[in-house]
């Protein structure tokens, strides 16, 4: 994969990368760091990507790992998450975002990948390295949790 | 909940985000070039294959004015290196770390000198820590251990995100002095592993896909390939125990923590507990290695030894 091809593929999934990173890190500065790091890593590893058709999912897989690293570093250093309250969409999505954010990561990531970024469940399984059935199960659990959470908010 | 509302819950992509992506795309070649030139400059004799080596586990119990050892040298003699088919086979080429004399400096710091047999400029994979343990059992967070590696090396940061502060990089000095601030620890537990990998292994590690030799004392999750992760029970000599993970890919980490949380609701277990865990058929497979054929790799358990014995090596030598 040459530079031009790589660049165009990265730019094509720019928005999805942002959404993924934001849902994990919750602030733009860390998102930028994570995405940059993921791009560097992907570029270095590009020769090992045998099937270019899965570039998008592969890049997302790297990004998820980078974000997890950042979260671990935060935890280890006792850092407090810097959340941004700006630029959130109007209700009802603010509530939805808050509810998604309250989900445990094991449920949140499949939700973001599947419903925000539009990947198929198979692709989500690949990105998260989970069995397909586990993804379906987590998505079901996440929907239930969101339903319950949002219902409580409404009441 | 309306359809597609998920896609609207994310804030708009800020303008500077695109700029940062563009910046990364512009810099990625130079970043890679920098990394390759560093790796190439590190004298990794290909024929010498690579080597693994060494471990130091030692501890010194200090009290008010502790009887400290004059000199403690720990080599890999107590470690049996056994290659597996799943990892790059490494030729042992011991790297010895010598821990020098303890002393209290004029300003009240505890100091020690250390030296390593590696040559400056050598590329090493490094996993180590030397953390003071205070009376309350607390450790000094953020302590980087010996100032052995160039922590500004981007490759170091590449896998520097794990709990042991491990990474790879180049040896920046052969000897040094480490001091422990103005606090006097009651004990010092040192765990120090140095790996001299093949060029290939080094390249992999820089990419976050580390491949390592397995050795006793390490609990191995996975088969030693990029999806593996290692965990190490540490029995601190102040009586506390800790279970830490190290190396391997980052992919399994969350599963590991989820498992630990679910099983113990804490991250601390003893080496003995860890062994018991591993003997529980299926426990790891379902909780830790979802998606992996763990049974296929159960042979990795051959590498587990009496971890208490391992951590006691240093203590025996001191006494």
ipTM field: 0.79
For a pLDDT cut of 70, what percent of chain B falls above it? 6
Judge whether residue A113 has pLDDT over 80. Answer: yes
Confidence grade of residue A105 (pLDDT, cut at 50, 70, 90): confident
Judge whether residue A78 has pLDDT over 60. Answer: no
Chain B residues 106-165 with a CB less than 8 Å from chain A: 141-142, 158, 161-163
pLDDT tens, residue by residue, B183-221:
333 333 333 333 333 333 333 333 333 333 322 233 333
CA distance B69 to B317: 9
Mean local confidence (pLDDT), A133-149: 85
Name the one residue in this structure whose structure tokens are 């006793």. Answer: B216
Whether the CB-CB separation of B198 and B67 falls below 8 Å is answered with no
For position A10, what pLDDT does the model report?
92
Mean local confidence (pLDDT), B69-77: 27
CA distance B112 to B5: 60
Mean local confidence (pLDDT), B21-42: 63
Chain A residues with beta carbon closer than 8 angstroms to that of B1: 92, 96, 146-147, 150
pLDDT tens, residue by residue, B131-187:
333 333 333 333 333 333 333 333 322 222 222 223 333 343 444 444 443 333 333
For position B158, what pLDDT does the model report?
24
Whether the CB-CB separation of B121 and B43 falls below 8 Å is answered with yes
CB-facing half-sphere around the CA of B39: CA atoms within 13 A: 23
For position B104, what pLDDT does the model report?
56
For position A104, what pLDDT does the model report?
84
State whether B31 and A36 contact (CB < 8 Å).
no
- Does B6 contact chain A (CB < 8 Å)? yes
Cα distances (angstroms) measured from residue A106 to each of A63, A128, B20? 16, 10, 28
For position B287, what pLDDT does the model report?
30
CA distance A55 to A42: 9
Whether the CB-CB separation of A88 and A95 falls below 8 Å is answered with no
Chain B residues with beta carbon closer than 8 angstroms to that of A89: 8-11
Whether the CB-CB separation of B137 and B240 falls below 8 Å is answered with yes
Listed in sequence order, the DSSP H helices in B103-193 are 154-158
State whether B11 and A96 contact (CB < 8 Å).
no
Q: Could you tell me the pTM of the whole model?
A: 0.42
Burial class for B22, CB neighbours closer than 10 Å (0-12, 13-18, 19+): middle
Judge whether residue B36 has pLDDT over 60. Answer: no
For position A147, what pLDDT does the model report?
85
State the smallest CA–CA distance between residue B175 and chain A in angstroms.
Answer: 28
By Cβ distance, the residue of B10, B23, B207 closest to A22 is: B10
pLDDT tens, residue by residue, A28-48:
778 888 888 888 888 887 877
Burial class for A83, CB neighbours closer than 10 Å (0-12, 13-18, 19+): exposed
């Amino acid at each position: 994969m040459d530079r031009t091809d790589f660049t165009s593929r990265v730019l094509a999934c720019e928005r999805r990368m942002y959404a993924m990173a934001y849902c994990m890190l919750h602030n733009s500065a860390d998102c930028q760091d994570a995405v940059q790091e993921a791009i560097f890593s992907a570029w270095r590893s590009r020769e090992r990507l045998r099937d270019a058709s899965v570039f998008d999912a592969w890049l997302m897989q790297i990004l998820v790992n980078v974000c997890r690293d950042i979260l671990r570093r935060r935890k280890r250093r006792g850092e407090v998450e810097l959340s941004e309250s700006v630029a959130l969409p109007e209700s009802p999505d603010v509530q939805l975002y808050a509810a998604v954010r309250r989900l445990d990561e094991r449920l949140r990531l499949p939700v973001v990948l599947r419903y925000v970024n539009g990947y198929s469940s198979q692709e989500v399984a690949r990105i998260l390295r989970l069995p397909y059935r586990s993804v379906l199960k987590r998505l079901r659990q996440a929907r239930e949790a969101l339903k319950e959470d949002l219902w409580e908010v409404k009441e | 909940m309306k359809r597609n509302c998920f896609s609207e819950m994310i804030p708009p992509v800020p303008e500077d985000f695109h700029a940062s992506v563009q910046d990364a795309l512009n810099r990625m070649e130079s970043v890679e070039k920098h990394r390759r030139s560093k790796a190439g400059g590190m004298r990794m004799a290909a024929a010498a294959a690579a080597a693994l080596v060494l471990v130091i586990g030692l501890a010194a119990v200090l009290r008010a004015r502790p009887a400290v050892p004059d000199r403690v040298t720990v080599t890999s003699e107590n470690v049996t290196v056994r290659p597996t088919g799943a990892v790059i086979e490494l030729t042992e080429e011991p790297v010895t770390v010598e821990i020098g004399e303890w002393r209290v400096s004029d300003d009240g710091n505890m100091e020690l000198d250390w030296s390593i047999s590696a040559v400056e400029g050598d590329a090493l994979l490094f996993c180590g820590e030397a953390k003071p343990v205070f009376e309350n059992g607390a450790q000094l967070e953020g302590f980087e251990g010996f100032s052995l590696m160039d922590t500004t090396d981007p490759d170091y940061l590449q896998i520097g995100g794990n709990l042991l502060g491990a990474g790879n990089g180049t040896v920046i000095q052969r000897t040094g002095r480490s001091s422990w601030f103005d606090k006097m620890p009651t004990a010092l537990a040192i765990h120090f592993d140095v790996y001299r990998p093949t060029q290939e292994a080094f390249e992999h590690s820089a990419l976050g896909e580390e491949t390592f030799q397995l050795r006793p004392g390490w609990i191995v999750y996975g088969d030693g390939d990029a999806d593996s992760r290692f965990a190490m029970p540490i029995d601190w000599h102040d009586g506390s125990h800790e279970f830490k993970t190290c190396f391997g890919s980052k992919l399994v980490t969350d599963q590991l923590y989820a498992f630990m949380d679910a099983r113990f609701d804490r991250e601390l277990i003893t080496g003995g507990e860890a062994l018991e865990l591993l003997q529980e058929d299926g426990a790891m497979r379902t909780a830790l290695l979802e998606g992996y054929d763990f049974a296929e790799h159960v042979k990795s358990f051959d590498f587990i030894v009496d971890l208490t014995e391992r951590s006691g090596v240093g203590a025996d030598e001191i006494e």
